[in-house]
Structure 1
Amino acid sequence: MLKGSARAHTNIALIKYWGKANEELIIPMNNSLSLTLDAFYTETTVIFSEDLTADTFYLDDILQDEKSTEKVSRFLDLVRKMATCPLFAEVKSYNHVPYAAGLASSSSGLAALAAACNQALQLDLSDRDLSRLARRGSGSACRSIFPGFVEWQKGNSDETSFAEVVPSNGWENELAMLFILINDQEKDVSSRDGMRRTVETSAFYEGWLQTTPQDLASAKIAIHAQDFNKLGSIAENNALKMHGTTLAAVPPFTYWSPDSLKAMQAVRKMRAAGIPCYFTMDAGPNVKVLCLKKDAEKIKAKLRDYFAADQLVTAFSGPGITYL
């Protein structure tokens, strides 16, 4: 029996990853930049055993169906090949993240699974190679290997597509992100399907690709200068551009709900009143508000005018992979 356990935290992209250049290897069309956060995480244990006759996958103690297990098995096949290990595995994950609601549960889930396999099979992977492995399960998972600000280098091959820390002199510890949980139901259009449809059909996608490298360069300058308003403004604009591409897809779709728009308007209103804060959104209706840590409670109090207290979660900069 070979056993490994790990915890990985979610990350939220400030410069978005949207679209794949290679579906099989999960190589993105553009570099992205994220912040790893402490509030949402996945803990995963994997056991490879001669006693098992098939892979099994439990999520929050519930045995998962064939479709969910197949995705995990495909990932396990990668690590079995790396380790020349023929054994089936039992995977038990506990997700402290609302599933499939645009809260990046796949980023923490696949990062934790990659790290647990690394430990169980004694692969002794470097952080960069662990990032590459996690990427094969879910693109954004490659960023959850690391703490703080992280850039995913898109690369052009399995070897060259990985994440790495963006130096910030600890500035990420002065920031916070407020999650406005608008909907924890499963999405109508998955991130994977949404990306594919956008890349193949959206008239706006080329504009996204052309402008994102400059967004990324400007964001890194803002991090280096510890310029919050510049970073927030770039992140908000980048998110709106990403979501704009979905409206020009064929057929068009959106991840926004009426409450998403209400949240965005609330952030703009606070900013107009002199409170520095900016919103971002991933492939789901939930809105995340980037702010300075010192302003987080004040912003949360104002958001209670629009949303219930249990819809508001405060997150701070989080750690990279932890072995349990």
Structure 2
Amino acid sequence: MTAVPAVTGTATAEANPNIALIKYWGKADAAYNLPVTGSLSLTLDTAPTRTTVTLDDTLAADELVLGGVVQAARPAERVRVFLDLVRALSGRTERARVDSVNLIPTGAGLASSASAFAALAAAASAAYGLGLDDRALSRLARRGSGSASRSVFGGIVRWYPGDDASSYAEPVPADLDLAMVVAIIDAGPKTISSTVAMNRTTATSPFYPAWAESTTAQLDEMLAALDRADFTAVGELAESNSLRMHATMAGAWPPVRYQTAASIALVDAAGELRAAGVEAYATMDAGPNVKFLCRPDDADRVAAHLATVDPGARFLSARAGRGVRLLGSSE
């Protein structure tokens, strides 16, 4: 994308979810959403979030409408805190009305917060008159949700650890055409939020230090695999990194378990597909739903096999998508 222009008043932006192939799990600094390790993801071309930010100096407080429903409590507070940051950067004081629609289920481990805060960052930046380049916009989106830093960009994206100035995402050039089949087992909100689960894992799992060390090594291996366009290595690393993350969560106390019997059956189905000559690799985030990395020509066959394993699941097929884009603005 190009830099978000300095426009004030009302602005609308759209961003797509991204699915991490090398995971972000653990904060080095919670206040700035700085990650313990780097991560790498694929931005999808499906199920975007569209967000409109409208400044209104008659409002006593910011308002959040999500999917047509006025929000309170934690969702509204997260948006208010984020808008306070934008106001501080812009030097403006107006409150705002935020109207957002997620086309991916919210809070189900399907990267809804990544697309939501990337779209909010772009729309709020424009509405409050901030002229941000892509790197600055990625850093801003990170403050709302760490993984949102990656949804600013399309395709394969790397997010760097570091301090507030150096922790941002950027695209990774790769000569690979990737597809992803998303198996939605449960579209409802997860019982343990990502933040609670992440903090519990880092604080109590004895396996966490080893996971962080191995993730740093796997990120280097993933970048090398992408550089040589080695699809098999990319898939194996993605599945391995996901399994290690969930094993580390299971070692927390109380244990964090997002995997269900249906999740495990679908993860096992990836091995069945590979045994049949179809390369598909499973990855899971903070929720029961499973994603499958495959080649575009294999996506239909992958989805068809998964449907026999779990006929009640819903499947989305996606390819690499675009980064955040500004759709409209006015004074």
Tell me which of 275, 284, 289 is aligned to 2:292. Answer: 289
> Once the two structures are superposed, what CA deviation does each residue of 1:44-89 show, in whole Å capped at 9, x if it has no partner?
0001112222110000111012322111000000000000111000
Asked whether the equivalents of residues 262 and 310 of structure 2 are also in contact (C-alpha less than 8 Å), the reply is no
For 2:296 and 2:174, the matched residues in 1 are separated by 16
SS at 1:168 equivalent? coil
SS at 2:180 equivalent? strand
Tell me the equivalent position of 2:219: 216
SS at 2:244 equivalent? helix
> Once the two structures are superposed, what CA deviation does each residue of 1:74-111 show, in whole Å capped at 9, x if it has no partner?
00000000001110000000110101111010000000
For 1:191 and 1:310, the matched residues in 2 are separated by 22
For 1:214 and 1:316, the matched residues in 2 are separated by 26
User: Quick one: percent identity of the two aligned structures?
Assistant: 45
In the alignment, structure 1 residue 124 sits paired with structure 2 residue 131: yes
Tell me the equivalent position of 1:159: 165
Tell me the equivalent position of 1:95: 102
Following TM superposition, by how much is the alpha carbon of 1:224 offset from its aligned partner in structure 2, in angstroms? 1.2
In the alignment, structure 1 residue 70 sits paired with structure 2 residue 77: yes
SS at 1:304 equivalent? helix
Asked whether the equivalents of residues 183 and 313 of structure 2 are also in contact (C-alpha less than 8 Å), the reply is no
Tell me which of 89, 111, 118 is aligned to 1:104. Answer: 111
For 2:45 and 2:313, the matched residues in 1 are separated by 18
Asked whether the equivalents of residues 51 and 119 of structure 2 are also in contact (C-alpha less than 8 Å), the reply is yes
For 1:184 and 1:301, the matched residues in 2 are separated by 20
For 1:248 and 1:52, the matched residues in 2 are separated by 46
Following TM superposition, by how much is the alpha carbon of 1:206 offset from its aligned partner in structure 2, in angstroms? 1.0
Tell me which of 168, 173, 193 is aligned to 2:174. Answer: 168
In the alignment, structure 1 residue 235 sits paired with structure 2 residue 250: no
For 1:239 and 1:35, the matched residues in 2 are separated by 14
Residue identity in the other structure for 2:247: G
Residue pairs, 1:189-208, within 5 angstroms: 189-208=192-211
> Once the two structures are superposed, what CA deviation does each residue of 1:7-33 show, in whole Å capped at 9, x if it has no partner?
000000000000000010000000000
Residue identity in the other structure for 1:90: R
Tell me the equivalent position of 1:298: 301
Following TM superposition, by how much is the alpha carbon of 1:322 offset from its aligned partner in structure 2, in angstroms? 1.1
SS at 2:48 equivalent? strand
- Output the aligned Cα RMSD: 1.1
- Runs of 4+ displaced beyond 4 Å: none
Tell me the equivalent position of 2:282: 279
Residue identity in the other structure for 1:166: V
Following TM superposition, by how much is the alpha carbon of 1:221 offset from its aligned partner in structure 2, in angstroms? 1.0
Tell me the equivalent position of 1:10: 17
Give me the TM-score of the superposition, normalised by structure 2. Answer: 0.95
Equivalenced residues, count:
320
SS at 2:147 equivalent? helix
Runs of 5+ consecutive residues of structure 2 not aligned to the other structure: 1-7
SS at 1:203 equivalent? coil
Following TM superposition, by how much is the alpha carbon of 1:310 offset from its aligned partner in structure 2, in angstroms? 6.0
Cα distance 1:316–1:189, how it changes in 2: closer, same or farther (>3 A)?
A: same
> Once the two structures are superposed, what CA deviation does each residue of 1:153-184 show, in whole Å capped at 9, x if it has no partner?
011x2111100111114x2xx21100010111
Tell me which of 268, 271, 278 is aligned to 1:268. Answer: 271
Asked whether the equivalents of residues 157 and 172 of structure 2 are also in contact (C-alpha less than 8 Å), the reply is yes
Following TM superposition, by how much is the alpha carbon of 1:309 offset from its aligned partner in structure 2, in angstroms? 7.3
